[in-house]
């Protein structure tokens, strides 16, 4: 099991800066998973609704008021991904 989310802040369209229980930080682009999707992800297309994201302290993941949530392991990996040929330094 990977570390869980402790803090989240929206930093752009479908982008969230995250802090994790292992002390690391990163920015996750959620667009590939929710942009243009319907169902529970439909309301997240509205930037104002997307900005209502919170951290579920028990599950350690992102949740929205309509019950939408995302896998915390996927979020950890997305926040720690780096473009090829670059190194990851700094915080959120």
Read out DSSP for 36-58?
Answer: T--GGGGGGGSHHHHTT-EEETT
Flag whether 87 is in a domain. Answer: no
pLDDT at 1: 76
Flag whether 32 is in a domain. Answer: yes
Give me the CATH number covering residue 41: 3.30.2020.10
pLDDT at 82: 64
Flag whether 85 is in a domain. Answer: no
Q: Range of 42's domain?
A: 5-79
Domain count, the chain: 1
Flag whether 66 is in a domain. Answer: yes
pLDDT at 83: 58
pLDDT tens-digit map of 9-48: 999 999 999 999 999 999 999 999 999 999 999 999 999 9
Query: Do 14 and 29 touch, CB atoms closer than 8 A?
Result: yes
Flag whether 36 is in a domain. Answer: yes
Helix runs in the chain, H state only: 31-34, 47-50, 72-79
Flag whether 50 is in a domain. Answer: yes
> What does each C-alpha distance from 50 to 1, 19, 87, 90 come to in angstroms?
26, 18, 29, 26
């Amino acid at each position: 099991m990977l570390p869980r989310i402790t803090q989240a802040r929206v930093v752009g369209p479908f982008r969230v800066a995250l802090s994790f229980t292992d002390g690391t930080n990163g920015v996750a682009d959620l667009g590939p998973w929710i942009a243009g999707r319907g169902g529970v992800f439909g309301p997240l297309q509205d930037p104002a609704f997307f900005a209502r994201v919170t951290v579920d302290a028990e599950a350690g993941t992102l949740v929205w008021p309509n019950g939408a949530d995302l896998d915390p392991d996927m979020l950890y990996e997305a926040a720690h991904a780096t473009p090829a040929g670059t190194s990851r330094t700094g915080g959120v």
